[in-house]
Amino acid sequence: MKHIYLLLGGFAVSFMSFSQVEIQASDINPILGETFTSYKTNPVSVGPTGFGVTWDLSQMVSTTSQISTVVAANTSFPLSNSTTNIDDLSRIYSLNNSSGQFMYGDLEGTTLITYTDPMQMMAFPMTSTLVASDNHVASFSISGLTFNRVGTTSILCNSSGTLITPEGTFTDVLRVRLQMDYVDTYVGGPLTYSVIAYAWYKAGIHKELASVVEITSPQGINSYGQYLETSSLGVKKVDNTVFTVYIMDPIDWTGFYQS
């Protein structure tokens, strides 16, 4: 962020300009062996859209904790390159590369969802102008019934700024909006779902700093928040660097730049 001061006719006029935030795959893709602790919370407002904004999610109140561990790929999903274990209750089989993050399998309890066309969860590079979409196809069985899933993921990133969570304040953060719309079809007919998730990312942290999720299903609407414990990762608060530029009145040709 930069503050620009113009001295015009003896009056100072200031405005702010914001540098572009860009996150590459290597900045946030998970690394084998990493462990993360997250806290599920009450749903909160996702805040404003724009550049140089501040999102204050400090009002998130933890209800439960969740531990995620990144381990080697499962050979049953040869196109994946990592497995994320979540509280030893679920598994996500993913391919994370320079172009995006893709889910090839999702084990929830005893139900395994297998994607023949993976679900894209992120696209790279992440910038404040990122727009992407992708289709996915999957199938799974519950109680002897087969479900066939088709859907679309839409990815939009049009905001950057400073994020405040119960863990602290983080600058140069990008907010991404994910929308996953899909239909599960079985002998009883189609079941329609929609998931809208806002997630905040910072380069160097291999998991979202926070997220706010709303799930619309045949059972109704469920909303919640989540934030990452960063103290155990050794992540420190980073303050803004402020630059001030002085441009003198045209009748006075002297001037200086102060950083």
pLDDT value for 19? 60
Is the Cβ–Cβ distance between 247 and 5 less than 8 Å?
yes
> Which residue matches tokens 């979540």?
86
Task: Name residue 141's amino acid.
Answer: S
Distance CA 38, CA 89 (A): 15
Residue 17's domain comprises: 2-258
* Tens place of pLDDT per residue across the chain (259 aa): 444 344 444 444 444 445 679 999 999 999 999 999 999 999 999 999 999 999 999 999 999 999 999 999 999 999 999 999 999 889 999 999 999 999 999 999 999 999 999 999 999 999 989 999 999 999 999 999 999 999 999 999 999 999 999 999 999 999 999 999 999 999 999 999 999 999 999 999 999 999 999 999 999 999 999 999 998 775 544 444 333 333 333 333 233 223 3
pLDDT value for 88? 82
pLDDT value for 5? 41
> If we measure between CA atoms, which residue out of 75, 37, 74 comes closest to residue 83?
74
Concatenated DSSP letters of 134-188: EEEEEEEEETTEEEEEEEEEEEEEEEEEEEEETTEEEEEEEEEEEEEEEEEEETT
Checking DSSP bridges between strand 51-56 and strand 145-165, what pairing results, if any? parallel
Q: How far apart are the first and last CA of the chain?
A: 12
| Number of domains making up the chain | 1
Is the Cβ–Cβ distance between 100 and 123 less than 8 Å?
yes
